[in-house]
Amino acid sequence: MSNIAEIKVGEQTYQLPLIEGSEGEKAIDIRKLRAVSGLVALDEGFANTGGCSSSITFIDGEKGILHHRGYPIEQVCDHASFLEVCYLLLFDKLPTQQELSEFKSEVSDNVLVPEEIKNFYKAFPRDAHPMALLSSVVCSLSSYYQHEDSNAPDHFRKTAVRLIAKLPTLAAWAYKTSIGEPLVYPDSNLGYTENFLKMMFSVPNKTYQTNTDMAKALDKLFMLHADHEQNCSATTVRVVGSSEANLYASVAAGICALWGPLHGGANQKVLEMLTGIKESGGTIAECLEMAKDKGNSFRLMGFGHRVYKNFDPRARVIKADCEKLLAGSDDPLLKIAKNLCDSALQDQYFIDRKLYPNVDFYSGLIYRAIGIPTDMFTVMFAIGRLPGWISQWKEMMDNPERRIARPRQIYTGATPRDFPPISQRG
């Protein structure tokens, strides 16, 4: 196969390089297209545009494949912990036992946040969305470490560790603020997810006991969300970072992008759908028939995926944990979810269209089983996605060909015209 692509416009032919990724992905390098032809490529939403080259995560949506640094997500979740995945994504290698122990110690030593940050939570309205608080306080961290260069070799690791260590504290405090309970300080004697659950659910007048199954399921969900290639929030982090904004500001921007219901809010939509089914009193069979009817406004949330055209590999990984947590539950929504899932998986309509439950379907159920309210679902997503954001930012900053993000446009407005004085305007 030739390593040159030819684009013909009228009688003129332009030659552009063909490039190939390590997994066989082929692309036309259009970086010089405008220079040689005066043309730009129009691609709304960048759905068919490679915004970067990356060695972090590989996805094959047709085959249902997700790899982190070359390791299949199934093996990662079977053998690693979330902090191990953080290390893998950040430093492009699996840690030795000693390296992992040192990394865990660094994270444990940095779980406290500056005491003045508590004032942020007091200043926000009681009913403020947790993502509003989280994005604000993460951005504010840059003011406490403003003399450090996030990308300098001796500072990057400190900054990355700080964010990974402090985000659960900041997230739990956002939740406690929203329900009017005292803030709980982190406990460095506990593991990453155990500590987070304690900060979320413990109260001063009662002894708190961590549920091991819940902690393990949450750790696995964090791993499954750790990175997912060039999604909206990862791209946002890269775009903001391309201006040489610091890592705190870039991550805060990523949190804001994730907040959007079309990105991080999918698992919340699942619970809203289940609530609607419960309140309507409809049967599962009726719901599936409505989902098949294109003229009906009902949508089966948490099934199918924009990227995965087969089964979401992350859903395969978390399905058993979800079923284990739901086994003893008497929550009516969780019972509806299980019946809906079982029925859809046996329905030929959904089988033929490969509309299987995705990770958002299962993650929403797990969060509910743990006791996490729906407005905290996206916050949980942010904690899991953090190492991916940091890794994407670092990879971009280390690229010697990096340029500030500045897309072109196709102008469709008015052509030149005279500016009339105000007295002549109708």
pLDDT, one tens digit per residue, over 38-47 is 999 999 989 8
- Asked if residue 74 belongs to a domain, the reply is no
Give me the helix-helix angle, 332-346 and 313-326, nearest 10°: 140
List the CATH number of the domain containing 138: 1.10.580.10
Q: Which two tokens stand for residue 213?
A: 């199954």
pTM over 0.75: yes
Residues 366 and 282 in one domain: yes
For 269-320, write each residue's pLDDT tens digit: 888 899 889 898 878 999 999 999 989 988 888 888 878 887 889 988 988 8
Same-domain status, 148 and 41:
no
Q: Indicate which residue of 360, 375, 398, 418 is catalytic.
A: 360
Mean pLDDT over the full length of the chain = 92
Q: Do residues 196 and 337 both lie within one domain?
A: no
pLDDT computed for residue 265 by the predictor: 82
Closest to 75 in 3D by CA, of 181, 220, 180, 198? 220
Indicate if 86 and 119 belong to the same structural domain: yes
Residue 234's nearest CA partner among 250, 218, 222, 220 is 250
Q: Which residues are registered as beta bridge partners of 7? A: 14
Q: Which residue has the higher pLDDT, 361 or 394?
A: 394
327 within some domain = yes
Domain match, 156 and 43 both: no
For residues 42 and 176, membership in a common domain is answered with no
Residue 248 lies inside a defined structural domain of this protein: yes
Instruction: Choose among 259, 255, 252: nearest CA to 150.
Output: 252
Task: Judge whether 68 and 227 are in contact, CB under 8 Å.
Answer: yes
Residue 406 lies in a domain: no
Q: What are the backbone dihedrals phi and psi of residue 17, each rounded to the nearest 5 degrees, phi first? A: -65, 145
Q: How many domains does the chain have?
A: 3
**Nearest CA-CA partner of 54 in 313, 388, 406:** 388
Burial 269-303 (b: 16+ CB within 10 A, else e): bbbebbeebeeeeeebeebbebbeeeeeebebbbb
φ/ψ of residue 382, rounded to 5: -65, -40
Look at residue 1 in the predicted model and tell me its pLDDT: 53
d(CA 265, CA 204): 32
Q: Is the per-residue pLDDT at 406 higher than 70?
A: yes
Query: What pLDDT does residue 87 have?
Result: 98
Say which residue, 233 or 1, is predicted with more confidence. Answer: 233
pLDDT in tens, 236-264: 999 999 999 999 999 999 999 999 988 88
The greatest distance separating any two alpha carbons of the chain, rounded to the nearest whole angstrom, comes to 80
pLDDT over 80 (residue 375): yes
**Hey, what are 219's tokens?**
């750790």
Domain extent, residue 102, equals 81-259
Residue 232 is assigned to a structural domain of this protein? yes
pLDDT for 385 equals 98
Could you tell me if 208 and 337 lie in one domain? no
> Do 212 and 117 have their domain in common?
yes
Q: Residue 11's domain is classified under what CATH number? A: 2.20.28
Grouping H, G, I as helix, E, B as strand and the rest as coil, residue 14 is strand
The Cα 193–Cα 195 span in angstroms is: 5
Q: Is the pLDDT of residue 391 over 70?
A: yes
Q: Is 394 a domain residue?
A: no
Last residue of a domain, one of 338, 354, 370: 370
Residues 318 and 223 reside in one and the same domain: no
For residue 264, the model assigns a pLDDT of: 87
Region for residue 194 given its phi and psi (left: phi exceeds 0; alpha: psi -120 to 50; beta: otherwise): alpha
The tokens of 355 are what?
A: 């509309």
Tell me the percentage of the chain whose pLDDT exceeds 70.
99
pLDDT of residue 197: 97
CA distance 297 to 290: 8
In this structure, the number of other CB atoms found within 10 A of the CB of residue 41 comes to 13
Write out pLDDT tens, residues 85-104.
999 999 999 999 999 999 99
Query: Rounded mean pLDDT of 8-27?
Result: 91
Q: Is residue 21 part of a domain?
A: yes
Contacts of 329 (CB under 8 A, 6+ apart): 335, 369
Q: Given a cut of 70, is residue 365 above it in pLDDT?
A: yes
- Checking if the pLDDT of 146 tops 70, the result is yes
Give the pLDDT of residue 307.
Answer: 86
Q: Which CATH number belongs to the domain containing residue 297 in this structure? A: 1.10.230.10
Q: Is 213 a catalytic residue?
A: no
> Out of 305, 312, 352, 418, which one is annotated catalytic?
305
pLDDT of residue 329: 76
In the block, tokens 């949330």 appear at 301
Read off the amino acid at residue 395.
Answer: E
Under DSSP, is residue 31 helix (H, G, I), strand (E, B) or coil?
coil
Q: Name 183's bridge partners.
A: none
Query: Is the Cβ–Cβ distance between 217 and 325 less than 8 Å?
Result: yes
What is the per-residue pLDDT for 84?
98
Q: For residues 292 and 265, which has the higher predicted lDDT (pLDDT)?
A: 292
The reply to whether 207 and 296 lie within a common domain is no
Domain annotation covers residue 159: yes
CB 93 within 8 A of CB 340: no
Q: Quick one: 253 and 108 in the same domain?
A: yes
Query: pLDDT at position 136, please?
Result: 96
92 and 32 share one domain:
no
Residue corresponding to tokens 């402090």: 166
Look at 126-130, 180-184, 222-226, 420-424 and tell me which has the smallest mean pLDDT. Answer: 126-130
Question: Is residue 92 flagged as an active site residue?
Answer: no
* Cβ contact 185:112 at 8 Å: yes
Single-letter amino acid code for the residue at 21: G
